[in-house]
Amino acid sequence: MKKIIATLLPIAALALPLAAQAGAKCEAHPKAEWMKEGDAKAKLEADGYKIRKFKVDGQCYEIYGWNKDGKKVEIYFDPKTLDIVKAEIEK
């Protein structure tokens, strides 16, 4: 058992920083102040995003899809203002 733990510990140590980088920290707004999901999707699509997946991640709206330039994106938005909090864009 100790050998298994000794083997898995370094793997877990490598994965931990990757997990810590995931997600974004959006300001916590009361849900009543959030833009409705349907309205948020419509605005983002009007701004040129093609949304493959739209979801709530913690206190953020998150999309996976493509921007107006056709580049793959993963973007976190403030759910009240739709300001970009964090973006990963294909180069």
Query: What are the structural domain ranges in the chain?
Result: 2-89
Q: Check residue 78 and give its pLDDT.
A: 98
Q: Check residue 3 and give its pLDDT.
A: 56
CATH code reported for the domain at 2-89: 3.10.450.40
Are the C-beta atoms of residues 45 and 51 closer than 8 Å to each other? yes
Q: Check residue 23 and give its pLDDT.
A: 78
pTM assigned to the model: 0.74
User: How far apart, in Å, are the Cα atoms of 89 and each of 38, 44, 83?
Assistant: 23, 15, 16
Distance of CA 86 to the CA centre of its chain: 7
> Could you say which residues of the chain have pLDDT below 70?
1-22
Query: What beta strand segments (E) does 1-91 contain?
Result: 50-57, 60-66, 72-77, 84-89
Q: Check residue 9 and give its pLDDT.
A: 45
Q: Check residue 2 and give its pLDDT.
A: 55
User: Residue 70 has which token pair?
Assistant: 């056709």
Q: Check residue 62 and give its pLDDT.
A: 98
